[in-house]
């Protein structure tokens, strides 16, 4: 392993952007000191696209990253671009800390997205070629043999044709509603009798596979796979849909609608009804993006622009298949040679020898346990809940659920606990974006089983990740707590990096009870023993901890901050980190996604390094390290340093107090700091560059591989 540690700060030699003033007179309110949130988010997605381009990644992993990029871009337009367009329409005059108006942001976003779209098209062509060389072929219809064409045409007749509904557009029939993210074919047909051309739209059904298997040919092996795109197959059978008409032209298009809808609280008697109404309205949000095939003619483009009520600058053209998130299905192919080596999370040593229900509680009672997912298995978390559901000594279980996922073993355990007579309370956050319908379903299912379900607050999302189990032991009540940086989701626990803590310390149990009293009842409690809770105590206490490091530096003592998080955009904390740097506090920030701080500016942020890691697993851990004169405080939790997390959500940060666990976290941070394979350094101009490393795979230290190896060897 590399010997590099956090003390080996990576120098940032990027020149500062113009307009920020002289070092002696920096105005911390100067917009030039901040990076725009939306453009920073686009930079993160560009780093995902880089992974799709990186030939050192296995070819199916490259296809996966291209699918992720496509999905991320969809969400970016549905939420972030939609919000900016609403601001423009409402003539909002407030600007973020970086000073860009909504109109300026939209201009820069569209420019960047068009630039990325060119890269995406080249990347797709390269991936397609290399997939074919490896035996995975994505065919056009005209590339098929006669037998192959007959086979897919038969599939069209039997499976696709009955599902299709061509929708005409003429004086008697209005322009059809186009669903967000749906793939469509625009078709121009000509009536041979009148010589008049008409427009029709066909929705490509999302209930069918996007990639249709094609028969193998002579010489193919069992490792060979052949596919045709669903929309291509439909396009070559349009005569079946328009008998008697001449097909003049067909081209694909896809739209993205606004999904950033406000909850209309006055329209519903409770939060559940309000969320259900919001989800229904999302289907009819205004159009924020129109993506068309490069081959689409100008008249059809103009027809779509007019009828979808979108400005021309909101249209993007692509030479690749539209909606490349469909490439994700290739990951199900039995070609392990074209993927990352499989990894099976390991059971933490403290939980390996458990045979009975009580033993898991005995293990936690003996001392705090820290799990590092996905390297450590999520199974002990599920076992903890199942043990609580079945143990006759357990009285109550209280749980927050933000994104539980499908077929959730966590939810199953809660329902089993209720069947066994436990008092079970679950806060199901209905406002978790794009998981609203799933969470509504879980909430209703839990309620039918008799679980006391809380939907959360109308104005605050509950983002805390916490489970409390109350158990009667020898005439005493003991509380067992699980806290996490990630969701109680057994699927994402295998692909997101997160940290979870088991503890039975009384102070943690007391804080957990107080937090659930806040969530389920009425509470103005502000004196939590251990937790930092947003929006109550987290912002103020966090600022005090940074200020303490500033004071250490002013005394000439070593001062250091190490934060690992998903996003840093809060202007107040960015300014405070600038002041800390000026005071001499060495600061290392591992920010996966959005970062509004400009590092490396002389005499302002030259003590700050910012690194983003994008790799096989999604970096999701949140670790906050404060050196404190050699007696470090380390917090984990659910919150990033963003106004929404600090002011508009229920969030929890919790301290790690056990010395061995503290040392484990410091080692995690050191390993992350040594990464050469996944790391990009943020420069003062807002761009990212890869850490300088050998072009050979053997010369690049990969923190995620190191964690996998350590977990297996442990």
- Nearest by Cα to 497 from 616, 602, 414, 612: 616
The residues, any chain, with a CB within 8 Å of residue 529's CB and separated by 6 or more, are: 507, 510, 511
For residue 143, with 0-12 CB atoms within 10 Å meaning exposed, 13-18 middle and 19 or more buried, which class applies?
A: middle
Whole-angstrom distance, CA of residue 600 vs CA of residue 13: 7
Whole-angstrom distance, CA of residue 30 vs CA of residue 28: 5
- Angle at the Cα of 329 from the Cα atoms of 323 and 332, rounded to 5 degrees: 165
Whole-angstrom distance, CA of residue 171 vs CA of residue 192: 19
DSSP 641: B
Q: Quick one: residue 480, left, alpha or beta (phi over 0 = left, psi -120 to 50 = alpha)? A: beta
CA distances from residue 656 to 240, 380, 484, 487, 560 in whole angstroms, order as listed: 66, 19, 12, 19, 18
Query: Is residue 463 annotated as part of the catalytic site, yes or no?
Result: yes
Whole-angstrom distance, CA of residue 102 vs CA of residue 100: 7
Which residues on neighbouring strands pair with residue 637, listed in sequence order?
Answer: 653
Q: Dihedral sign, CA of 225, 231, 235, 241?
A: positive
| C-beta neighbour count of 228 within 10 angstroms | 23
Catalytic pick from 139, 373, 463, 627?
463
Whole-angstrom distance, CA of residue 486 vs CA of residue 700: 28
Q: Taking a C-beta distance cutoff of 8 angstroms, is the pair 169, 175 a contact?
A: yes
Q: Taking a C-beta distance cutoff of 8 angstroms, is the pair 455, 423 a contact?
A: no
Whole-angstrom distance, CA of residue 622 vs CA of residue 646: 14
Q: Residue 306 belongs to what H/E stretch?
A: helix 298-308
Which residues belong to the active site? 463
């Amino acid at each position: 392993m590399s010997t590099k540690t956090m003390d080996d700060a990576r120098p940032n030699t990027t020149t500062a952007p113009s307009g920020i003033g002289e070092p002696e007179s920096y105005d911390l309110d100067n917009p030039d000191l901040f990076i725009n949130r939306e453009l920073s988010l686009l930079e993160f997605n560009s780093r995902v696209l880089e992974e799709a381009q990186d030939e050192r990644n296995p070819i199916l992993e490259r296809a996966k990253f291209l699918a992720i990029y496509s999905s991320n871009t969809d969400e970016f337009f549905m939420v972030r671009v939609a919000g900016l367009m609403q601001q423009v329409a409402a003539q909002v005059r407030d600007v973020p800390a970086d000073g860009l108006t909504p109109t300026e942001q939209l201009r820069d976003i569209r420019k960047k997205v068009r630039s990325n779209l060119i890269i995406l098209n080249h990347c797709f062509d390269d991936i397609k070629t290399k997939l074919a060389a490896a035996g995975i072929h994505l065919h056009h219809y005209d590339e098929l043999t006669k037998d192959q064409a007959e086979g897919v045409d038969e599939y069209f007749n039997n499976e696709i044709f009955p599902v299709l509904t061509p929708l005409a557009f003429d004086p008697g029939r209005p322009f059809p509603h186009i669903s967000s993210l749906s793939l469509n074919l625009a078709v121009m047909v000509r009536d041979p009798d009148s010589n008049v051309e008409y427009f029709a739209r066909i929705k490509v059904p999302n209930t069918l596979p996007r990639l249709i298997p094609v028969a193998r040919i002579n010489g193919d092996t069992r490792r060979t796979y052949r596919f045709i795109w669903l929309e291509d197959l439909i396009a070559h059978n349009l005569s079946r849909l328009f008998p008697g008409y001449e097909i003049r032209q067909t081209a694909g298009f896809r739209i993205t609608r606004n999904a950033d809808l406000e909850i209309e609280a006055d329209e519903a008697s409770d939060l559940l009804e309000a969320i259900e109404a919001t989800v229904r309205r999302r289907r009819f949000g205004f159009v924020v993006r129109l993506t068309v095939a490069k081959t689409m003619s100008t008249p059809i483009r103009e027809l779509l622009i007019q009828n979808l009520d979108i400005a021309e600058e909101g249209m993007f053209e692509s030479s690749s298949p539209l909606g490349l998130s469909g490439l994700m299905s290739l990951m199900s192919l039995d070609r392990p040679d074209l993927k990352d080596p499989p990894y099976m999370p390991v059971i933490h040593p403290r939980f390996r020898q458990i045979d009975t229900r009580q033993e898991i509680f005995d293990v936690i009672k003996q001392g705090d346990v820290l799990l590092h997912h996905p390297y450590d298995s999520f199974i002990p978390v599920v076992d903890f809940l199942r043990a609580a559901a079945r143990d006759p000594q357990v009285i109550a279980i209280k749980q927050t659920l933000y994104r539980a996922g499908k077929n959730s073993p966590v939810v199953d355990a809660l329902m089993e606990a209720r069947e066994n007579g436990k008092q079970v309370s679950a806060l199901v956050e209905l406002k978790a974006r794009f998981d609203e319908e799933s969470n509504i379903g879980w909430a209703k299912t839990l309620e039918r089983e008799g679980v006391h379900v809380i939907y959360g607050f109308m104005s605050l999302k509950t983002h805390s990740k916490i489970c409390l189990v109350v158990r009667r032991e020898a005439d005493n009540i003991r509380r067992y707590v699980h806290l996490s940086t990630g969701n109680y989701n057994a699927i994402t626990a295998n692909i997101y990096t997160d940290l979870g803590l088991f503890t039975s310390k009384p102070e943690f149990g007391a804080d957990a009870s107080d937090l659930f009293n806040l969530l389920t009842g009425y509470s103005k409690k502000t004196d939590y023993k251990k937790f930092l809770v947003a929006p109550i105590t987290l912002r103020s206490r966090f600022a005090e901890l940074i200020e303490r490091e500033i004071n250490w530096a002013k005394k000439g003592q070593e001062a250091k901050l190490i934060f690992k998080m998903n996003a840093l955009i809060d202007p107040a904390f960015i300014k405070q980190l600038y002041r800390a740097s000026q005071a001499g506090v060495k600061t290392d920030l591992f920010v996966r996604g959005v970062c509004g701080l400009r590092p490396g500016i002389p005499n302002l942020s030259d003590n700050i390094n910012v690194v983003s890691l994008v790799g096989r697993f999604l970096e999701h851990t949140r670790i906050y390290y404060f050196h404190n004169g050699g007696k470090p405080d380390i917090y984990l939790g659910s919150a990033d340093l963003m106004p929404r997390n600090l002011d508009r959500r229920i969030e929890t940060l919790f301290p790690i107090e056990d010395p061995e666990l503290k040392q484990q976290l410091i080692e995690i941070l050191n390993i992350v700091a040594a990464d050469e394979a996944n790391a990009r350094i943020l420069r003062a101009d807002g761009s990212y560059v890869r850490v300088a490393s050998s072009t050979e795979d053997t010369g690049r230290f990969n923190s995620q591989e190191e964690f996998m190896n350590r977990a297996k060897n442990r």
